Amino acid sequence: MQYTHLGRSGLKVSRLCLGTMNFGPQTEEADSRAIMDSALDSGINFFDTANVYGGAEHRGWTEEIIGRWFAQDGERRERTVLATKLYGTMTNRPNESRLSALNIRRALDASLKRLQTDYIDIYQFHHVDRDTPWDEIWQAMEVAVQQGKILYAGSSNFAGWHIAQAQEAAARRNYTGLVSEQSIYNLLTRAVELEVIPAAQHYGLGLIPWSPLQSGLLGGVLKKENDGVRRTKGRAAEALAKHRDKIQQYEDLADDLGLEPGDVALAWLLHQPAVTSPIVGPRTQQQLDAALRALDVKLDADALKRLDDIFPGHRTAPEDYAW
C-alpha cells in the first residue's frame, strides 16, 4: 500500500479510501465487516462515512455497523484514520441538521456514540451551510478539538470560493481550518478542475474524489451490457446515452492497454497531483479487490493524453473560463 499526507497536514493516509455508504442498505453487516477487515489487511487505513448513511428510515446505520466492528477488536480503531460527516437532516426537529454550533455539538456526540469511539480523525462538513457564519462554525470546531473529540476538519461538495471563505475565516482565528475537500471527480466529471482544485492546492487541502467510476459508467458498462451482466437504468441510462461514443472510445483504449476500464479510471485519478485518495465504495469483496488493482497501474504520457482527448478537462484552470 502507498501512503501520503492528507493535504498540508502531518496525517498519513492510504492512497485509496474505503467508502462505507453501501454498508447496511446494500451490503449486509457480516459482509461489511469482512470488507473492512480485508481493507485493513491490504493496508487501507482511511475509512470514510457520514452520519446520514443508512437510508432515510435508518440514518446512522452505517456508523453503527462500523462501531460494532471497532468494538470487536480495539486495535482496529487505532489502525484506522476515521472520517465522518455532518450536515444532513437526522430527524424532523429544527436543530438537527446543518452547521450550527448546536448541531455540531449534538451530531458529533451522536456519531461518537454510534461509532463507539472517543474521537474522529477528520470531521467533515457534508455541504456548505449558507446560513451559519464561519466564526460560529469554527468556534464550535475549536471547542471539539480542545475536548479531544476531533483532530482535523474537512469539507465536502464545496465550491472554490467556499474553501477560500472558510480558510480566510479560520486564518483570522489562527485556526488550521480545512485539511481536505471531498468532491465528485472522475474522467467524465471534471468541473472541479476550474476552481475547486486550484483553491484546494492554494490552501493545502487534500482532494478526496467521490464517485471515481461515475456510478459505474467508467467501470466497463458497455462490455457488461453486451455480456448481459448489467442493465443500466434511470439517470445512469440517460448519462450513458449522452456519452456513449466517448465511453466506447474509453473502453477501447482500456482494451489497447490490456487493462480493465475501472482500473484505468482509478489509476487516472491517482496520477492527478491534487488527489490524495479516491473513495472506493465496494458492495462486495470482489469490488474491493478490483479497486486495489489500480494501485499497480502506471499510465504513461501517451495514455494520459489519449484519456484527455476522449474526456477533455480544463488544462488552463482556473483561467479556462476566461481565455
**CA gap 142, 170 in Å, rounded:** 10
Beta-bridge partner residues of 209: 183
- Amino acid at the residue 191: A
**CA gap 303, 284 in Å, rounded:** 29
Across the chain, the runs of DSSP E, i.e. the strands, are 3-5, 12-14, 17-19, 46-48, 81-86, 120-125, 150-156, 178-184, 206-210, 279-280
Q: Catalytic one among 3, 53, 152, 175?
A: 53
Nearest to 278 by CA among 153, 180, 199: 180
**CA gap 287, 163 in Å, rounded:** 32
Nearest to 84 by CA among 160, 148, 152: 152
Question: Is position 250 annotated as part of the catalytic site?
Answer: no
**CA gap 283, 259 in Å, rounded:** 22
Q: Which residues are catalytic?
A: 53
